[in-house]
Structures are given as C-alpha cells and as structure tokens.
Structure 1
Amino acid sequence: MGEPPGKTGRRDAGGTAPAVEDRWTQLPPELLPLICKKLPDSADFVRFRTVCSAWRDAAPLSDVPPQLPWVVERRGSAFQARVHFRFYSPSSGRTYGVRGYGGRSWLVMGGACQEHLVTTVDLSTTALYNPLTGERLALPPAPYPQWRHGVVHVVADGRRRGGAPLVVNASTRTGHFGYCRQGDTKWTLVDGRQDMGHRAYHGGRFYVNTNAQETLVIDASTGAVESVLPPPPRSADAGAGVSCGDYLVESRGKLIRAVLFPRDSVVATSAEDYYLNVYQLQEDGKAAAAWAKVESVGDSVLFFDKHGHGFSLEPNGAAELKRDCVYFMHEKRTWLDAGEYRFLCRYNMETGEVDRVVSLPDTFGDTWIVPGLCPSE
C-alpha cells in the first residue's frame, strides 16, 4: 500500500533500521475525528487506521463514516463458481475483490444487506458472511432456494438493533417468506397469504405490504397476523397513476413507507419522471395505527433497492448521502433490449426533484451491502 504522504524513512551510516520522521502523528487529536468523518469509503477508513496508533484510536471500528452502499457484482449463471466477490463503491468509483470461503459454488442471495451477505456454498450450506472481516455465521438451509425462486436480505443488524442479525428469505413466486436469527435451527415460515410484497421489521413485528396496498402486521415470534392497516391516504397529485414502487424501512425508531409514482400518471421513461409520497406509521396508543403523509424525513437518508429492501443511513456530504433524501434504483432498457442502464437516483424531499447520483456498470446487479467492520454480537 505504501507509506502515507509526509512519512519518510532513511538509514543511518551503520545500516541499522530506518529512522522515521512521522509528521502525521503530530496533527492535533481533535482534528482526526473530523478528517475521518469525511472519508467516502470503507477502504479509506481501513487505511486511515493503519497510519499510526493515534489515528487508529481516533477511528474506532464502531464508527465507520456513512457512505453509499457497495453493489455486488452480478454473474450470468446462478451456478457459476464464485471464489471471489467483487464490489463496486459508488462513493469512490473503485472496484474491490474479496476472496470468499471454501466451496466450489458461490451464490449470493440478492437483496439489500446490512454488513453481511447471505451466501450458499455447494448449494447446501447457507451462511451470513461479512466480506470485509471474513466473519461467517451459519444459518439453516434456506427455505426458498435462490436458484429456484428466493430473494434474501438482512433486515436488522445485531450491532444496531441489540439482537442477532435477522434474515428474511422470500419466495418470488408466492410472496411467502421465512425468517431466522443466528442460532436458530430452522426458519419460521409465514404462509398465510399469497399477496405479500415488500416488508420491514419494526418493534418485534413484520410489516408487509400487499397487492391491495394494505399492510399486514405480523408477530415475529409466532408468525401470526395481528392486524391489517388500510392503504395510506392518496394525495391529489398522485391522480390515477399506478405506483411503480412501494417501499418499507425502519428509520430512527420509526417505520417509513415510500411510494414511487410516475409524474405523468402513466409511465416514467427517465429518472426525472418520478416522484415520491412518503408516510410514517402513527402509533400513539389512543387510536388504531395508520399511515400519515410526511413532507420530510429530517436527517435520515433512506435507501432502497429494486426489490423494495432498504435501510436508513446517516447523511454525509463527502459520500453524497444528503439529508432528507430517498435513494432508489432506475433501470432503462436500450433499443431492442440490447443492453441495460442502471442508475442510483436521489429524490429530494424538500424540492421534490430527482437527480442521478451514479451510473452503475451493467455487470453489477441488485445486491447492495453496507460495509461493516464490527463483529456481530
């Protein structure tokens, strides 16, 4: 990797070990956290920690700077051998390769992930895998295999939620889903209905949108449907347009729902043709829970993939994570489907405008991961 700028080495006349003049260690300690917060990439954070002990102490593993999530390389065949993972960092424009663990066949389960990927080795062993630390957590065999009809994502992270990582595996054919935590010997399956769509975990319950735009409230310990929330109030600007995305995510202890609409109420041909209606679940205990439209998500940054999975992040100007914004994916097929363009787009809640943040390489697909360096609890 080489030495940081400002660090020089030289040997004395006797040929002994080099005497090092390290001006970087003389920086005022109060500046180090400020510098660290401006780093746009986890790889830069790791390099920052290797400069010296003072810099390492100023950059604890639990305080990685917010950044745009990394996107995982997509392979043509689900059965293709995968010894290495490749990641693309939109914040820095760099591509990284990380060696996997064992096995001749690697499958990456698609979906947004918090710090871990869900992988399958030799089509049998399923595990949570942190590609930056090498940590591996065994899971029961997936109930809906990805090579048949499954989409997996990590909906809660133990370090952030106070419990073990919670993994959901949904069937793309029926909408049913199963979930498990580290240490479980089997998946808990929710098979009561076949019109279940996007889902989020909040306060010990799953909230699942249906085709009718209702929201099922499901007890995570039993899998039973506790109640059904009515659709959110439709704003006048939505008109008769059909939504082209309906997302759920927990943010700062609140459950948020974002519904994506085309501006002309028919079809969106470019990223700028979209707008969002955003709602928050109201739970005051005096009345039945319901969706209420909000005009701002404050200091939160909401991020969704094409499957409706997502997470809430902290704003960071250096990483292009702007406060009060919602990030989503837009795909555009070229003439005669000869190719495909993928854009990460940002909807500004204050102005109602959409702009493209980054164009993604076609070889990188739908799985996003928030890089993390802390071990799971």
Structure 2
Amino acid sequence: LPRNLDLEALRTPQSLLHTSKSQPKLIAPFPSHSSSIPPSIQEHAYAISMSWSDLPAELVAGIADRITEHADLARFRSVCPSWRSASAEHAARRRVPLLLLPSQQNSRVNRRLWSLADDSITETPMPAACGRSFLFASPRGWTLAVADDFTATLLNPFTGASESLPALPPSFHDGYQMILRDMVWDRSPDAVMVSQGKGAFFCRLQGDGRSWTPADLSPPARVGSITYCDGTFYLLDKRANKVTAVDGATFAVVVAIEPPDLVMPDRSWLRESTLVVSSASELLLVVQGGCHRSKGLFKAFRADRGSLAAGWSEVADGGIGDRAVFVDHARGFCVEANGVNGVRRNCVYVASAHEEANANSGWGDWGRYTVSMLDLDDLTTQNLSHGNLLKCLHGRQRPSWSMPNLH
C-alpha cells in the first residue's frame, strides 16, 4: 500500500459495480491476456463477486493507518460498519484535539493546526476563512470566522462545509478589536450564540432573514464562556462562578445555577473557572487558583443536568478520572484518555497566548502561543510550548482547541 493513500484510488468504475438492493458488489475485472483462459473458467471468475464490507479487516486497518487527513478518515469510516470497526483503533489514536493557530495574514486560504500528539503543524485549506482575521474553533469541528468588517462565517475545516452569518452586533465593534478578540461562542444544530462579555445574542440558522437577537437574560449576565449540549446553552460568569442555562429553542432562561461554596486562602490568589459538559448527565465546574508563593489549588464541582436547581457538589477526590479537560479562552471540554491517543488522564491542558514587546516600538505587537498541562494528581504544571509551536507568532489573537469528528 502507498504511504500517502489517495482515496480516489478506492473508487471503482461504475462498469465494475453490480448494484443490488442490499449494497454494491465489486466484480473483479479479468486481465487483458484472458484470451488464453477457457471460457468456462472466465464465466466462473466473473460470477464471483465481493462486497466492499467483505474486505479483510487487516487490509482495511492497514489502509486506515495510511490516511493522514481527518476528513478522509471520517469519510472512510462512514463507508460501512465493518470498515468503521476495523479502523476503530486508528480513530482512537487520532481522537485528540488540535490547536487552531490564527494566521498573521488573513488573506491566506490555508490555516495552521498544531497537533498535541506529535508537535506537528498542518496547513489545512479553509477557503471560507479567506479574508477573516479572527478564527474561533470548537470541540465539534466547527469554526467561527470573523472579518474586519464584523461579517461572520461558520466553517468546518474537516469537511469543507460553510454557512454565512450576518455581521456581528454593534456592541462587538471597537477600534482596537479587543472585544472581538475576547468574544465567546458556540452553536447548536439550529442556531449560533455569541457574547462580547456581557449578555448574549443568538442567530437562527434555519429560514431566511438571519439576524442577531439579544437573549433574554435579565439582568444581563457577564458571560465568560458559552457551551452547548443537548438542547441547552450554558453561560458561565467566570468571576462569580454562576451558570445560566438557556433553552436552545426558545432562548429563554431555564435555570440559574448558583456558585458553589468556594473559599480561597487569601485575596492574592488568582482564580480561573472553566465549565465543562463532561457527559450526557453531568456538568463539571473546574476552578484553579494560585499565587507565586504556592503550587496552586484545584477544585472540581459536579452538577446533575437532570436537576440543575440542586446546585453543585464538590468532587470528593478532586480529580476527573480517566479524562482530560482542554481549556482555551472560550470554553473547556472533556476528552477520554484512552491509552492510545497520548492524552494523559486527570490533567488539564490550557492553551493561551502572550504578547512580546516589539524591539522597535516597545509595544506588544506580536506574541507566542503557549500550552501547559496541569497534573491534578500532584498539582504540578508542565510547559508543552516547545518545538514547532514555539516558532509560531500571533498578532493579538488567541488559539482555540478544535476536535475533529471521526465518527
């Protein structure tokens, strides 16, 4: 098998396919020198047909191991159940977030994705992002791209799909684009919700005449992250650790979850909160704190999505088990540490960016991306910003985690 498999090579001419109501049958073509073979044998050979799903599992797994693009692997696994099963191990190894690195030139079609697994940087074609200065990824593959004139586009770098959105509301506009840099968002199958830090707006994706409508949050809440799951948007006020649940269809507030009881040692401690939908039935609030005199503090709180009004309960052992939490400025999400994807269990991976002073102007015009890993077993932090990631510069933009959908 070739090292770089072209999936077009797997396509079979229609003349070689026998179509039935069950599924296509692949009939092996007879070689050109078949004139020396008795007709009876030729007829028997042509009568032998084989389904795509009958390919040996070892062969299918070998092909999957040579597929480098996430989109190609997703299409490959959708062919039939036997191909999905045979490529499961390869998909598990690839089930690790990629870090979207905003480009210094917004006119570029290709954008960069950094792999935590091997420190590689892939140039991924994103035609819909051309001319878009700001890119915000998400754990479901979709990316929100925003231009300097505040027009917005939804795009999926792994499938090539895209949808146009109206220009963001005037409250997002400022001369230095600081509000835009810090905006947060998420999407449901039917709508997109965004926030510039106070209140939120939604845009329905169905029907004509798309526009941004303020969500009915009374009083307007401070919003530090937006997370969607199973019909509900969860808005986190990072300062107060208060979560507001908003119905994904009516955009009315369902319930406000009061903050957990949390006492920091003293006011010199810095605190960062992250809301995670850790499973279909559970919310997780991760609170980190620290100062220069201590190695830090970590607490995790759990809430039952079926009874949110009951509030938070502290996770007894302070850990998150065989999972890892990936955090950027917009949100956090859980990833299974399955033993083959290189993700370490009971750890928090944090992506951020810091500015560096320009030698000529003295201003922080450019900076570098950083990724750190907090081990919750001993609360030690490891800097993962090395190699190729350290070479990448940014222009006042933040990186964000993207999770390819390989199902």
TM-score, scaled relative to structure 1: 0.69
Residue of structure 2 equivalent to 1:301: 324
Deviations 1:28-75 (A, max 9, x none): 837976997x9997559849969xx98777237995645432222323
Identify which range, 254-263 or 352-361, moves more after superposition: 352-361
Contact 1:74–1:363 (8 Å) recurs in 2: no
Q: Tell me how far apart the structure 2 counterparts of residues 322 and 128 of structure 1 sit (CA, whole Å).
A: 31
**Following TM superposition, by how much is the alpha carbon of 1:355 offset from its aligned partner in structure 2, in angstroms?**
2.1
Residue of structure 2 equivalent to 1:352: 379
> What is the 5 A alignment of 1:41-120?
46=73, 58-59=86-87, 65-76=93-104, 80-101=106-127, 105-120=131-146
Q: Tell me how far apart the structure 1 counterparts of residues 229 and 404 of structure 2 sit (CA, whole Å).
A: 22
SS in 1 for 2:159: coil
Q: Tell me how far apart the structure 1 counterparts of residues 147 and 223 of structure 2 sit (CA, whole Å).
A: 29
Runs of at least 5 residues in structure 1 that lack an aligned partner in the other structure: 6-14, 17-26, 158-163, 267-272
Residue of structure 2 equivalent to 1:369: 402
Pick from 162, 166, 188: which aligns with 1:136?
162
One-letter amino acid matched to 1:139: L
C-alpha spacing 1:292/1:198, structure 2 compared with 1 (3 Å): same
C-alpha spacing 1:142/1:113, structure 2 compared with 1 (3 Å): farther
Q: Tell me how far apart the structure 2 counterparts of residues 32 and 97 of structure 1 sit (CA, whole Å).
A: 27
Contact 1:301–1:314 (8 Å) recurs in 2: yes
Q: Tell me how far apart the structure 1 counterparts of residues 309 and 84 of structure 2 sit (CA, whole Å).
A: 49
Residue of structure 1 equivalent to 2:224: 197
Q: Tell me how far apart the structure 1 counterparts of residues 67 and 385 of structure 2 sit (CA, whole Å).
A: 14
Q: Note if 1:322 corresponds to 2:350.
A: no
Deviations 1:340-373 (A, max 9, x none): 4543222233333322334333425423211235
One-letter amino acid matched to 1:221: A
The size of the alignment, in residue pairs, is 334
C-alpha spacing 1:197/1:282, structure 2 compared with 1 (3 Å): same
Q: Tell me how far apart the structure 1 counterparts of residues 164 and 212 of structure 2 sit (CA, whole Å).
A: 13
**Following TM superposition, by how much is the alpha carbon of 1:125 offset from its aligned partner in structure 2, in angstroms?**
5.5
Residue of structure 2 equivalent to 1:212: 240
**Following TM superposition, by how much is the alpha carbon of 1:241 offset from its aligned partner in structure 2, in angstroms?**
4.4
Identity %: 20
Contact 2:99–2:400 (8 Å) recurs in 1: yes
Q: Tell me how far apart the structure 1 counterparts of residues 190 and 119 of structure 2 sit (CA, whole Å).
A: 29
**Following TM superposition, by how much is the alpha carbon of 1:280 offset from its aligned partner in structure 2, in angstroms?**
1.0
Residue of structure 2 equivalent to 1:8: none
SS in 2 for 1:119: strand
C-alpha spacing 1:141/1:3, structure 2 compared with 1 (3 Å): same
Residue of structure 1 equivalent to 2:21: none
> What is the 5 A alignment of 1:206-285?
206-210=233-237, 211-235=239-263, 238-253=265-280, 254-264=282-292, 273-282=295-304, 285=307
Q: Tell me how far apart the structure 2 counterparts of residues 40 and 311 of structure 1 sit (CA, whole Å).
A: 26
Pick from 175, 189, 194: which aligns with 1:169?
194
**Following TM superposition, by how much is the alpha carbon of 1:329 offset from its aligned partner in structure 2, in angstroms?**
3.0
Larger Rg: 2
Residue of structure 2 equivalent to 1:311: 333
C-alpha spacing 1:293/1:181, structure 2 compared with 1 (3 Å): farther
Runs of at least 5 residues in structure 2 that lack an aligned partner in the other structure: 5-31, 34-54
**Following TM superposition, by how much is the alpha carbon of 1:202 offset from its aligned partner in structure 2, in angstroms?**
4.3
Contact 1:72–1:366 (8 Å) recurs in 2: yes
**Following TM superposition, by how much is the alpha carbon of 1:214 offset from its aligned partner in structure 2, in angstroms?**
2.8
C-alpha spacing 1:76/1:333, structure 2 compared with 1 (3 Å): closer
Structure 1 vs Structure 2 CA RMSD: 4.5
Q: Tell me how far apart the structure 2 counterparts of residues 40 and 327 of structure 1 sit (CA, whole Å).
A: 27
Residue of structure 2 equivalent to 1:4: 3
C-alpha spacing 1:255/1:94, structure 2 compared with 1 (3 Å): same
Q: Tell me how far apart the structure 1 counterparts of residues 298 and 363 of structure 2 sit (CA, whole Å).
A: 27
Q: Tell me how far apart the structure 2 counterparts of residues 39 and 292 of structure 1 sit (CA, whole Å).
A: 46
One-letter amino acid matched to 2:346: D
Q: Note if 1:289 corresponds to 2:322.
A: no
TM-score, scaled relative to structure 2: 0.65
